Structure 1
Amino acid sequence: MNDLILSPQPDDPRLSAAVTGYDQTGALVETRVVTERALTLYLNRQEIVTMMTIGDHPDLLAVGYLENQNMLEDDNPITTVDYDDDLGVVVVRTERETNYEEKLKKKIRTSGCAQGTVFGDVMDSFDGTALSDTAMLSTASLQKLLKRINTMPSLYLTAGAIHGCVLAKGDQPLVYMEDVGRHNAVDKIAGWMRLNNCDPTDKIFYTTGRLTSEMVIKCVMMGIPILVSRSGFTAWGVDLAKSAGLTLVGRARGARFMVLAGQDRVIFDNDQSEEPTDDK
């Protein structure tokens, strides 16, 4: 795990809170629950959106959201990202002023939890994105990756009610983010990639959430050729993955999985003599 750059911080007291309640026997119990707080994002002088988030890495979330909504141009570099914790406001400033008034009027509410939103012209960029045709997914490597992810300390294991996303290379997790909405966790990774000039062509994206159209769109927009989930698929998600040339792997638990798109990238080299097991 030496290659892990960013990982969950389940012991951070800002991210969960202790509450008391009663179990099925009527006994008093104490448990931890994840926090939610509002974060309002500005791009230069323009208010873009208010998001509900656990509150970690607001800079990465802001940049990743703008990146995945096609609001950051390559020839208009980011100059600063300022965050005010008291106000719950993050401001991304670019070298040139921007104006997305018309773009903000054209929204598509997605199936993402916490009511994800995608702006209509994102699909224009989606249709024009070409993914790497040299990236490969070894099933033996995937099994090792899933085991490493599932045994890492996380806020999910501490408090539940949260989604996780991982950027990986081969069988090594690189960046592991969590949030109450899976789209937030995705955007944090997208923000990290943008700010660190990360090459997506040899990476794998893992999510605990469903493989919906939104997840496929975001992964393709990030330029990552392989998307893996422990959860299932939607029909439109599969159709979009096929049209974009994205390798889509779902229901991945232990040694079991299903590939519904981009199977040409998959190398089936795991030990077939082993009985598949389901990792928690």
Structure 2
Amino acid sequence: MGLMVRLQSTTKARYIRLDYVRGVEELREAEVALETPVTIVVNGAELVTLFASPSDLKELAIGHLLGQGVIRAVEEVKSLEVLSSRVSVETKRDVSDRVSEYGRLRVITSACGSTEDFYQILDQIDHPYVKSDYTVTLSTLVEAVRELNKLSVKGHLLAVHTSGLFEEGRLVAYAEDVGRHNSIDKVIGKAALQGVEFGSTILVTTGRQPADAILKCARVGIPISVSIREPIHSGIFAAWRTGVTLVCGARGSKIDIYTHPRRIRYTFGSPKEPFST
């Protein structure tokens, strides 16, 4: 799909460790995550500059364009070239109308005048509805979270976010990045390039899930999004409006299902009141 150049994603840094209980000073060296401004260019025009870990930049660009609705499928890409931290994408058709919509969508990640303004903007933008009937057992979901946690050990040490996409319970894409949104873009891009059917997948991520992260899932048709972090209300609202099953706080012996719980199968208990979302 074009020329690619791999950049280094970590570096070494020296630091002073102070143990104030024992009164000990030590000079140490650690591996730390790098971030770099990555510019995505679409049909010759700069679309966005993301601060991201300098790895999997092709996948980052493809996933970002899919998740933001600039392209609908990988097949719409005519060519892709990665030069240093600049990714140039040429599409087979004119996407200027989608680029205009992209500009409106990015308002969600910027400061809005009020919470009411925010939800009005969210209602106005083009958001699909995930109609997938895909369901998973609670044990399958828990096992996916455990697998991501095992892979994320180094990521936690490097202060990066990790995301994994599971198809029918099998890990098909994994990515690390300093930005939680970027790690989602990367797994979407990796899966799309493999031809994964998103309608039967689970996204598991270490990052929070605000509205813009949920919209990425909805645009490619991911029915279940799981975070080990606690929820943000914009994410709950977006998940409810787009048909995404949102699971948060997935750690220890609990998970919290906030929207569309029908996709998670378990054999105990039942909601005491009708579940409105």
> TM-score, structure 1 length as denominator?
0.79
The corresponding residue for 1:156 is 155
The corresponding residue for 2:210 is 212
Q: Contact 1:41–1:91 at 8 Å: present in 2 too?
A: yes
The corresponding residue for 2:93 is 96
* Greater mean deviation of Cα atoms: 224-233 or 183-192: 183-192
CA shift, 1:259, in A, is: 0.8
For residues 240 and 210 of structure 1, the distance between their equivalents in structure 2, rounded to whole angstroms, comes to 13
Change (3 A) 1:104 1:221: closer
The corresponding residue for 1:130 is 130
The corresponding residue for 1:30 is 29
1:17 matched to 2:11? The reply is: yes
Change (3 A) 1:73 1:219: closer
Deviations 1:77-117 (A, max 9, x none): 211111112xx211111123443674465331427xxxxxx
For residues 191 and 123 of structure 2, the distance between their equivalents in structure 1, rounded to whole angstroms, comes to 19
Q: Contact 1:15–1:54 at 8 Å: present in 2 too?
A: yes
Q: Match of 2:240, SS? A: helix
1:47 matched to 2:55? The reply is: no
For residues 209 and 108 of structure 1, the distance between their equivalents in structure 2, rounded to whole angstroms, comes to 20
Q: Match of 2:237, SS? A: helix
Q: Contact 2:101–2:125 at 8 Å: present in 1 too?
A: no
Q: Contact 1:65–1:187 at 8 Å: present in 2 too?
A: yes
The percentage of aligned residue pairs carrying the same residue is 25
Change (3 A) 1:187 1:167: same
Deviations 1:173-219 (A, max 9, x none): 22111111111111112222333332111100011111211221111
Q: Contact 1:137–1:265 at 8 Å: present in 2 too?
A: yes
Q: Contact 1:207–1:229 at 8 Å: present in 2 too?
A: yes
Give the structure with the larger helix fraction.
2
CA shift, 1:231, in A, is: 0.3
> TM-score, structure 2 length as denominator?
0.80
The corresponding residue for 1:277 is none
RMSD of aligned Cα (Å): 2.7
For residues 105 and 147 of structure 1, the distance between their equivalents in structure 2, rounded to whole angstroms, comes to 37
Q: Contact 2:172–2:191 at 8 Å: present in 1 too?
A: no
Higher RCO (CA < 8 A, seq sep 6+): 1
The corresponding residue for 1:186 is 184
Match of 2:246 among 233, 245, 248: 248
Change (3 A) 1:155 1:109: farther
Q: Contact 1:82–1:92 at 8 Å: present in 2 too?
A: yes
State the AA in 2 paired with 1:223. Answer: G
Q: Contact 1:161–1:180 at 8 Å: present in 2 too?
A: yes
Deviations 1:115-163 (A, max 9, x none): xxxxx7996431x33330x211211112222222222265414x42211
Q: Contact 2:57–2:82 at 8 Å: present in 1 too?
A: yes
CA shift, 1:73, in A, is: 4.6
* Greater mean deviation of Cα atoms: 29-38 or 98-107: 98-107
The corresponding residue for 2:113 is none
State the AA in 2 paired with 1:72. Answer: I
**How many residues align structurally?**
247
Q: Contact 1:164–1:182 at 8 Å: present in 2 too?
A: yes
